[in-house]
Structure 1
């Protein structure tokens, strides 16, 4: 009998980076109900220090965090040469933020409270093969 070597299918990861414990925990629970694999971080610094695998993932990133903002985190990843499909979330949108998000290649800038429908549609777009 011939043995076949199977290539493992890599599950898409969703990284949630938000300094608000309630938002982060709620997003994680919501995404896990939809059977996504989720890793969460309370700051951009911790996310970068973890040096996560960004090969098949989506990043949900709060814009307004202390120390390192979501925009600064995206810039740091860009400087490292690896920016995954990123969904920015914010409670305070303005034209400057919209422009920064667009310039850094954010897939979307979503307003809090998040629409679950819009969030899941955007995640599916982020994880779709390109």
Structure 2
């Protein structure tokens, strides 16, 4: 995988097992990973950190889509990849309108995830 120049992939998912497995996968490819159990934890700690955001769509309190829309409203331009186990065309379209660079269905294919992350970093360099 190409380097992310030390910029982190911020994984936001309320499922501990998903966060852990994604962290292990991404770190095995040389990526820096920060993970957060909720959208609010991400906002409190890392929203301006840069890098790339890997965001679960369905979370309690604040959904991934609500977080993405808030980031866009606040002019935080972090490239965002949405991942979900429950997708529909309406959610996909709303995520695209909010600026998601990719929309992946769980379980996420490793190569598709890595390609999406590489594309997200490339788009933030353009």
TM-score normalized by the length of structure 2: 0.91
Larger Rg: 1
Give the conservation status (yes or no) of the 8 Å contact 1:74–1:83. Answer: no
The answer to whether the 8 Å contact 2:9/2:33 transfers is yes
Corresponding residue pairs, total? 121
Does residue 30 of structure 2 align to residue 39 of structure 1?
A: no
Shift of 1:95: 1.1
Equivalent residue in structure 1 for 2:112, among 112, 118, 122: 118
Q: Which runs of 4+ in 1 moved over 6 A?
A: none
Is 1:71 the counterpart of 2:65? The answer is yes
CA-to-partner distance for each residue in 1:102-128, whole Å, 9 max, x for gaps?
100101110000000100111111111
SS at match of 1:122: helix
Taking the TM superposition and a 5 Å limit, the aligned residue runs for 1:1-130 are: 10-55=5-50, 57-128=51-122, 129-130=125-126
Deviations 1:83-115 (A, max 9, x none): 311000000110110111110010111000000
Q: Residue deviations 1:53-84, cap 9 Å, x none?
A: 333x1100000001100000011111211031
Output the TM-score relative to the length of structure 1.
Answer: 0.88
Partner residue, 1:3: none
Gaps of 5+ in 1: 1-8
Alpha-carbon separation, structure 1, partners of 2:117 and 2:47: 18
The alignment partner of 2:69 has SS state of: helix
